[in-house]
Amino acid sequence: MADDPGTLSFAMVGGDGPHSYRHNSSYQAGVVASAKTLIGNAIAEIFDVNHLTTSSGSIGIADLGCSVGPNTFITVKNIIDSVELKCQSHGFGSQVLEFQVFFNDHVSNDFNTLFTSLPNDRHYFAAGVPGSFHGRLFPKASLHFVNASYALHWLSRVPKDVVDEQSPAWNKGRVYYTNAPNQVVEAYSAQFSVDMESFFKARAQELVSGGLMTLVIPCLPVGTAPSQSPLVAVADLLGDSLLDMANMKKWTRSTYPATPQELENLIKRNGCFEIVKLEPSGRAPVTKETAPNVQMFMSHLRAALGGLLGEHFGVEIMDELFVRLTEKVANSSTLSPSSYRMVVDLFVLLQRKAA
């Protein structure tokens, strides 16, 4: 159950400072808000309170890739409020029902900040669980609801072939896969597939029969090339900035924007989950007016990536790196509304089939 030392851990910037995720996660907050109704409806419609609350003494909930809050607390409250509401509407008092919530993220996540930020008026027992969600984190059949928002697009590692000079997928001198040979894109896709396979296999063991899992994951619209995604464009600009500054040959961490079809195929291949919903989360389309400005976008990006980049390349170069990157992003079309249309936030609702 130990972390594979070959994999890379990843965590948002901890603490309470100006570059912290805590103060720079309003974009993710928008994602959480748009998922709120979807999660509430899912519980109202198919969370089987009779079965799930009698088979065990308490309800186990996990938020995977939780970071340090506040978004994770909002999501968890939404889940619990919805379950309590359903219990009341079914005529049994929710006061007898107890909830245990597991906040999961990589071991490098700032759990101290997470714990000190826990809401005082919470209706649940809280626990932090460090480790990669690409492996097992919980005992068998111990969870009733699992959520993962904006977490699954992170790969567990850069594909081996991409950094292997002997491989046709060697991504020579490139930091990402825009304009890279097909083999490079395929290597990233294969890594995503391996990661999702591990993810679904682990969750299938941990969720009780009938338990629910909700995922919010940035995807590419069907028929779009990964290079058209702003996620990829930003990663490219980041790599360029690193090359400018330190002649870094590679950047060792990646996201992969899958297509909805690709994700659906991976869920079906696992076979343990019923796909109840797989649809855009309904985030309002980005327009010229609502497109994030460069400064806000960069604050978010630094909160999400600053910790990891600092660890790899030294915290002392972070200020310069983000100045350079800001300039590149400002001079690109990365933040244009049309570029944003190349990201769909997919909402996926899965139900664990009977084992």
Residues that bind a copy of itself (CB under 8 A): 1-3, 57-58, 98-100, 102, 107-108, 110-112, 115-116, 118-131, 136-142
Closest separation between CB of residue 15 and a copy of itself, Å?
A: 11
Crossing angle of helices 26-46 and 294-313, rounded to 10°: 90
Q: Which residues, other chains included, contact 263 with Cβ-Cβ below 8 Å and sequence gap of 6+? A: 196, 217, 219, 278, 346, 348
> Of 201 and 341, which has the nearer Cβ to a copy of itself?
201
> Of 131 and 337, which has the nearer Cβ to a copy of itself?
131
Three-state DSSP at 307 gives helix
In angstroms, the Cα distances linking 63 to 17, 60, 66, 112, 265 are 24, 10, 6, 17, 24
Closest separation between CB of residue 52 and a copy of itself, Å?
A: 14
> Of 121 and 316, which has the nearer Cβ to a copy of itself?
121
> Of 141 and 163, which has the nearer Cβ to a copy of itself?
141
Closest separation between CB of residue 272 and a copy of itself, Å?
A: 17
Closest separation between CB of residue 303 and a copy of itself, Å?
A: 18
Closest separation between CB of residue 115 and a copy of itself, Å?
A: 4
Closest separation between CB of residue 136 and a copy of itself, Å?
A: 7
Q: Check: CB of residue 243 under 8 Å from CB of residue 237.
A: no
> Of 144 and 324, which has the nearer Cβ to a copy of itself?
144
Q: Check: CB of residue 239 under 8 Å from CB of residue 329.
A: no
> Of 73 and 192, which has the nearer Cβ to a copy of itself?
73
3-state DSSP of 122-155: CCCEEEEEECCCCCCCCCCCCEEEEEEECCCCEC
Closest separation between CB of residue 53 and a copy of itself, Å?
A: 12
Paired with 143 in beta bridges are 207
Closest separation between CB of residue 68 and a copy of itself, Å?
A: 11
Cis amide linkage into residue 337, ω under 30° from 0: no
Other Cβ atoms closer than 10 A to 315: 11
> Of 324 and 352, which has the nearer Cβ to a copy of itself?
352
> Of 141 and 330, which has the nearer Cβ to a copy of itself?
141
> Of 13 and 237, which has the nearer Cβ to a copy of itself?
13
- Cα–Cα distance for residue pair 73/300, rounded to 1 Å: 19
- Token pair for 19: 């570059």
3-state DSSP of 156-216: CCCCHHHHCCCCCCCCCCCCCCCCCCHHHHHHHHHHHHHHHHHHHHHHHHHEEEEEEEEEE
Closest separation between CB of residue 114 and a copy of itself, Å?
A: 9
- Cα–Cα distance for residue pair 120/137, rounded to 1 Å: 26
